[in-house]
């Protein structure tokens, strides 16, 4: 008897506390909180910097690993220290692992600039966390490859929200000794009853649904997919069905590049999606792999340095954006990370002279074949007005269901 | 304090504590109660409340309005039932596997080995706990992989490694949590007087009967105690799945993905209540067996 009461107390405790805590925070409301407020997409009115002033002496930088090296990883890889010397802005660098982590950290308002991929940038703009960027104040902007300016993922209605850093495509990697004949397109990973069943890998993120949508775009034109990031419910269902068929053939999903590299090395995975620099790392280890740009196009990423709407050090932030996108530094960071630099003049400064060719940096035709990661939103990105498209929340839900 | 010491000998503060037992008890109990109340129950309460909030699916902002939407999704969408069932199944299998392996080991340690060997065995058992969880999980990844140790050992028998998947995951988790099962059983069996075993033999029982009717009843509460560890540790695991589990996911992964990838804290909180409920049910069942009273 006594025990029962203690158990009851243990259960009742949190509930009681819960009702007490309710007072702080929750507003009474109906059952409609799931209804997204961001129908379509109007950028909140955030003021743009008009001119540059006195530098504040420090800047908070939020970056993908490898974008802001200060020599701690490799003594020869350091472009943060020269920046500090040049501008007098002390750089406080924080690396993040996923786009969503970047989003969370930006919301704190503690950081001035962020290197955002296309699947984070629109969300930063929509939530009012990113400010428009006055490109007239950035000397480096003139040298940025023209095909990276004013794109869906870094601008709204012709207003730039940052300065491009670099881009790359998701490639198809395979073991040359195990996969014959060599695959040429994404059919290889999506075909049913693949001879490589159980040895296929896929990227572990809801954004991978776009890869399946791209495949459908090429193979099932009746579905009418025009942009793999603008899927209505029917098209999303079709893409999900493709991925559910693929699921039994997948050896594992990867999001950690080292894990993928190791799986290809051991032969647990012989075929699947990859990034250029993972292929480079594996080839450097003498693993017989080859990464090809699929004949039917591919998805990819394009990163943009954006400035926080709550930036306390805007002048140092502009100094950083100008510096990081300048030819020499852009070459250093892009080469360290393994992607095509955004600055056209960066190609003169890479240590490996064939670098820009390997990454097709100036190849507009190559870049046009890439569908860059973009956050799916309700308002269809392909311009359709008669249907509602599925948003990232639904994609996340779908991704959980695909993995089962 | 001995009777000869007087109040004047002691520093005044110690005297105060000595004179008022209430203050003493109060000071002793406040830190643990604060810990339990604020850090533990408070966190649980915060989790529970968050589960009733919504989220703006585009910007990821938490919307602090009451909604049952998260629980509705949890109950109506099949995949969460599948994942819950899979997680409970894995936890149960890991627990059974651990109990089966741990019982003979613990019995040998407690009743057969010499005191010297006993000490050595305890050290050997605790040793893996010194190594990082990740190191052990990645070691199993290497062993279970193509051309790894497992396939090398199995190939003479015409078998192959199970590879990355549920089987590999269960093996890895069973390995990781084994010490948490052996130690309670060992402690339980150590209290079993050897004279009981002798008496059983004197009365004509074979070793099988002794094991079943004397040793097992004594060991049972200890096995149950160990199972609470292995079961709850497996319920909450999400790292080993990512390393050796292939494309599968457990409840922990769903929570992790909703916090890390989808940025949907309220839904993650709703999912996180499932293991809490499962463990409460499990503990209630354990209590009904009466095992906890005999510990």
A144 token code pair: 């940025």
**Among B150, B147, B141, B151, which residue's Cα sits nearest to residue B172?**
B141
For A267, the closest of B41, B146, B262 (CB atoms) is B146
Q: CB-based contact (8 Å) between A379 and chain B?
A: no
Q: Report the Cα–Cα distance between both ends of chain B, in Å, rounded.
A: 34
> B57 and A268: CB-CB below 8 Å?
no
pLDDT tier at B2, thresholds 50, 70, 90: very low
The pLDDT value recorded for residue B13 is: 60
A251, A269 in Cβ contact below 8 A? yes
**Among A123, A8, A114, A22, which residue's Cα sits nearest to residue A62?**
A114
A225 token code pair: 């997919």
> B258 and A396: CB-CB below 8 Å?
yes
What is the DSSP code (8-state) at residue B131? S
Preferred mutation among B51, B58, B143, B257 to probe A, highest tally of A CBs within 10 A: B58
Among chain A residues, CA nearest to B241 = A252
> B83 and A391: CB-CB below 8 Å?
no
Residues of B in contact with A101 (CB under 8 A): 260
In a 13 Å sphere around the CA of A166, the CA atoms on its Cβ side amount to: 29
> Whole-angstrom Cα distance, residue B62 to residue A33?
10
For A247, the closest of B37, B48, B247 (CB atoms) is B247
> B246 and A251: CB-CB below 8 Å?
yes
**Among A328, A315, A305, A343, which residue's Cα sits nearest to residue A163?**
A305
**Among A364, A332, A337, which residue's Cα sits nearest to residue A348?**
A332
Strand ranges inside chain B, DSSP E: 54-55, 62-63
Sign of CA pseudo-dihedral A154, A390, B269, B251: negative
pLDDT tier at A172, thresholds 50, 70, 90: very high
Residues of A in contact with B264 (CB under 8 A): 393, 396
> Whole-angstrom Cα distance, residue A146 to residue A363?
11
Q: Which helix (DSSP H) or strand (DSSP E) does residue A63 occupy?
A: strand A58-63
Q: CB-based contact (8 Å) between A271 and chain B?
A: no
A64, A116 in Cβ contact below 8 A? no
**Among A206, A73, A11, A52, which residue's Cα sits nearest to residue A134?**
A52
CA of B139 to nearest chain A CA: how many angstroms apart?
Answer: 13
In a 13 Å sphere around the CA of A297, the CA atoms on its Cβ side amount to: 20
A88 token code pair: 């007098």
> B64 and A392: CB-CB below 8 Å?
no
Residues 46-105 of A with CB under 8 A from B: 98, 100-101, 103-104
CA of B141 to nearest chain A CA: how many angstroms apart?
Answer: 10
Among chain A residues, CA nearest to B63 = A33
pLDDT tier at B151, thresholds 50, 70, 90: confident
Cα-based torsion angle of the residue sequence B208, B209, B211, B217 in order, rounded to the nearest 10 degrees: 150
B57 pLDDT more than 70:
no
Q: What is the mean pLDDT of residues B186-205?
A: 89
> A36 and B260: CB-CB below 8 Å?
no
Residues of A in contact with B58 (CB under 8 A): 36-38, 123, 126, 375, 377-378, 391-393
pLDDT tier at B260, thresholds 50, 70, 90: low
pLDDT tier at A367, thresholds 50, 70, 90: confident
pLDDT tier at B91, thresholds 50, 70, 90: very high
> Whole-angstrom Cα distance, residue A113 to residue A84?
15
> Whole-angstrom Cα distance, residue B98 to residue B107?
14
In a 13 Å sphere around the CA of A280, the CA atoms on its Cβ side amount to: 11
Burial of A261 (0-12, 13-18, 19+ CB in 10 A): buried
B259 pLDDT more than 80:
no
> Whole-angstrom Cα distance, residue A22 to residue B73?
23
Residues of A in contact with B145 (CB under 8 A): 263, 266, 268
B93 pLDDT more than 50:
yes
Cα-based torsion angle of the residue sequence A340, A343, A349, A355 in order, rounded to the nearest 10 degrees: 20
Q: What are phi and psi of B7, to 5 degrees?
A: -60, -30
> B79 and A14: CB-CB below 8 Å?
no
A88 pLDDT more than 70:
yes
Q: CB-based contact (8 Å) between A378 and chain B?
A: yes
Sign of CA pseudo-dihedral A363, A369, A372, A375: positive
Q: CB-based contact (8 Å) between A23 and chain B?
A: no
Share of chain A above pLDDT 90, in %: 42
- Render A314-373 in DSSP notation, one character per residue: HHHHHHHHHHHTSHHHHHHHHHHHTSEESBGGGGGT-SSTTHHHHTTTT-HHHHHTEEE-
Higher pLDDT, B18 or B230: B230
Q: What is the mean pLDDT of residues A61-81?
A: 85
Mean pLDDT (chain B, rounded) = 86
Q: What is the mean pLDDT of residues A71-99?
A: 86
Strand ranges inside A228-275, DSSP E: 250-254, 271-275
A156 token code pair: 């709204």
pLDDT tens figures, A111-125: 999 999 888 888 888
> A198 and B163: CB-CB below 8 Å?
yes
> Whole-angstrom Cα distance, residue B264 to residue B56?
9
> B59 and A17: CB-CB below 8 Å?
no
Higher pLDDT, A219 or A97: A219
Q: What are phi and psi of A282, to 5 degrees?
A: -65, -40
The pLDDT value recorded for residue A212 is: 95
pLDDT tens figures, B60-87: 677 788 888 889 888 888 889 999 999 9
For A126, the closest of B53, B59, B260 (CB atoms) is B59
pLDDT tier at B218, thresholds 50, 70, 90: confident
> Whole-angstrom Cα distance, residue B85 to residue B150?
28
Q: What are phi and psi of A227, to 5 degrees?
A: -145, 125
B180 pLDDT more than 60:
yes
pLDDT tens figures, A208-221: 999 999 999 999 99
The pLDDT value recorded for residue A6 is: 44
The pLDDT value recorded for residue A32 is: 32
B156 token code pair: 């003479």
Q: CB-based contact (8 Å) between A132 and chain B?
A: no
The residues near A18 (Cβ < 8 Å, ≥ 6 apart) are B45, B48, B49
Among chain A residues, CA nearest to B43 = A14
A166 pLDDT more than 80:
yes
A18 pLDDT more than 80:
no
The pLDDT value recorded for residue B60 is: 65
A164 strand-pairing partners: A304
A274 strand-pairing partners: A171
The residues near B13 (Cβ < 8 Å, ≥ 6 apart) are none
The pLDDT value recorded for residue B38 is: 85
> Whole-angstrom Cα distance, residue A280 to residue A75?
21
CA of B10 to nearest chain A CA: how many angstroms apart?
Answer: 40
pLDDT tier at B22, thresholds 50, 70, 90: confident
pLDDT tens figures, B23-46: 888 888 888 888 888 888 888 888
User: What's the pTM value of the predicted model, to 2 decimals?
Assistant: 0.75
pLDDT tier at A173, thresholds 50, 70, 90: very high
Residues of A in contact with B280 (CB under 8 A): 11
B71, B270 in Cβ contact below 8 A? yes
Q: What are phi and psi of B255, to 5 degrees?
A: -60, -50
> A396 and B261: CB-CB below 8 Å?
yes
The pLDDT value recorded for residue B14 is: 63
Mean pLDDT (chain A, rounded) = 84
Q: What is the mean pLDDT of residues A72-77?
A: 78
The residues near B30 (Cβ < 8 Å, ≥ 6 apart) are none
Sign of CA pseudo-dihedral A270, A271, A275, A279: positive
> B45 and A17: CB-CB below 8 Å?
yes
For B60, the closest of A29, A98, A103 (CB atoms) is A103
The pLDDT value recorded for residue B59 is: 66
So what's the ipTM on this one? 0.72
The pLDDT value recorded for residue A33 is: 31
> B247 and A403: CB-CB below 8 Å?
yes
A370 token code pair: 């890439």
B145 strand-pairing partners: none
Q: Could you check whether the bond before residue A229 is cis, i.e. omega within 30 degrees of 0?
A: no
> Whole-angstrom Cα distance, residue A256 to residue A236?
26
Cα–Cα separations (whole angstroms), residue A322 to A81, A108, B97, B156, B166: 15, 24, 60, 63, 50
Domains identified in chain A and CATH numbers = 58-167+301-364 (3.40.190.10), 177-287+378-403 (3.40.190.10)
Preferred mutation among A1, A9, A18 to probe B, highest tally of B CBs within 10 A: A18
Composition of chain B by helix, strand, coil, percent to 5:
75, 0, 20
The pLDDT value recorded for residue B262 is: 66
A2 pLDDT more than 50:
no
Return the residue matching tokens 């009681």. Answer: A16
Residues of A in contact with B37 (CB under 8 A): 13
Q: What is the mean pLDDT of residues B224-235?
A: 93
pLDDT tier at A362, thresholds 50, 70, 90: confident
């Amino acid at each position: 008897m006594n025990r029962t009461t203690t158990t009851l107390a243990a259960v009742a405790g949190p509930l009681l506390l819960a009702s007490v805590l309710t007072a702080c925070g929750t507003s009474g409301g109906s059952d409609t909180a799931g209804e997204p407020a961001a129908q379509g997409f109007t950028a909140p009115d955030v003021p743009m910097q008009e001119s540059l002033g006195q530098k504040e002496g420090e800047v908070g930088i939020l970056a993908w690993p490898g974008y802001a090296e200060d020599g701690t990883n490799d003594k020869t890889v350091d472009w943060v220290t020269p920046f500090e010397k040049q501008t007098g802005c002390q750089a406080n660098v924080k690396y993040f692992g996923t786009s969503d982590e970047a989003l969370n950290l930006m919301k704190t308002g503690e950081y001035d600039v962020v290197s955002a991929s296309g699947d984070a940038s629109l969300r930063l703009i929509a939530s009012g966390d990113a400010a428009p960027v006055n490109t007239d104040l950035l000397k480096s902007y003139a040298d940025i490859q023209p095909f990276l300016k004013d794109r869906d993922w870094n601008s709204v209605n012709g207003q730039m929200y940052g300065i491009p850093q670099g881009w790359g495509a998701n490639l198809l990697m395979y073991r040359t000794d195990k996969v014959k004949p060599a695959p040429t397109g994404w059919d290889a990973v999506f075909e049913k009853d693949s001879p490589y069943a159980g040895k296929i890998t896929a990227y572990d993120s809801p954004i991978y649904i776009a890869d399946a949508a791209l495949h459908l775009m090429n193979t099932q034109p009746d579905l009418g997919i025009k942009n793999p990031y603008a899927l209505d419910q029917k098209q999303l269902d079709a893409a999900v069905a493709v991925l559910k068929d693929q699921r039994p053939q997948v050896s594992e999903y990867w999001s950690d590049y080292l894990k993928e590299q190791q799986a290809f090395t051991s032969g647990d995975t012989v075929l699947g999606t990859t990034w250029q620099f993972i292929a480079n790392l594996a080839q450097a280890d003498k693993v017989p792999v080859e990464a090809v740009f699929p004949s039917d196009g591919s998805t990819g990423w394009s990163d943009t340095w954006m400035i926080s709407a709550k930036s306390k050090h805007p002048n140092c932030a502009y100094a950083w954006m100008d510096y990081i996108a300048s030819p020499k530094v852009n070459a250093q960071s892009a080469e360290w990370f393994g992607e095509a630099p955004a600055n056209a003049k960066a190609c003169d400064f890479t240590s490996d002279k064939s670098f820009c060719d390997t990454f097709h940096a100036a190849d507009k035709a190559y870049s046009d074949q890439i569908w860059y990661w973009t956050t799916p939103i309700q308002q269809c990105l392909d311009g359709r007005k008669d249907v509602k498209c599925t948003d990232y929340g639904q994609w996340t839900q779908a991704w959980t269901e695909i993995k089962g | 304090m001995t009777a000869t010491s007087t109040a004047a000998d002691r520093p005044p503060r110690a005297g105060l504590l000595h004179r008022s037992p209430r203050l003493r008890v109060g000071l002793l109990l406040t830190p643990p109660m604060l810990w339990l109340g604020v850090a533990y129950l408070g966190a649980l309460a915060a989790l529970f409340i968050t589960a009733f909030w919504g989220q703006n699916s585009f910007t990821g902002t938490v919307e602090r309005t009451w909604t049952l939407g998260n629980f509705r999704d949890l109950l109506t969408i099949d995949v969460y039932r599948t994942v819950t069932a899979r997680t409970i199944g894995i936890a149960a299998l890991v627990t059974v596997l651990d109990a089966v392996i741990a019982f003979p080991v613990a019995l040998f340690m407690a009743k057969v080995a010499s005191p010297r060997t006993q000490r050595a065995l305890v050290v050997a058992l605790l040793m893996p706990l010194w190594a990082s969880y990740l190191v052990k999980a990645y070691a199993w990844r290497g062993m279970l992989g193509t051309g790894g140790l497992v396939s090398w050992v199995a190939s003479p028998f015409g078998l192959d490694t199970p590879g990355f998947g549920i089987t590999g995951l269960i093996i890895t988790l069973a390995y990781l949590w084994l010490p948490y099962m052996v130690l309670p059983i060992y402690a339980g069996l150590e209290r079993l007087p050897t004279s009981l075993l002798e008496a059983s033999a004197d009365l004509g029982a074979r070793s099988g009967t002794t094991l079943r009717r004397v040793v097992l009843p004594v060991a049972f509460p200890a096995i149950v105690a160990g199972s609470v560890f292995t079961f709850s540790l497996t319920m909450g695991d999400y790292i080993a799945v990512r390393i050796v589990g292939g494309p599968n996911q457990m409840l922990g992964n769903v929570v992790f993905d909703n916090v890390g990838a989808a940025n949907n804290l309220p839904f993650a909180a709703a999912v996180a209540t499932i293991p809490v409920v499962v463990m409460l049910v499990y503990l209630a069942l354990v209590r009904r067996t009466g095992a906890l009273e005999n510990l």
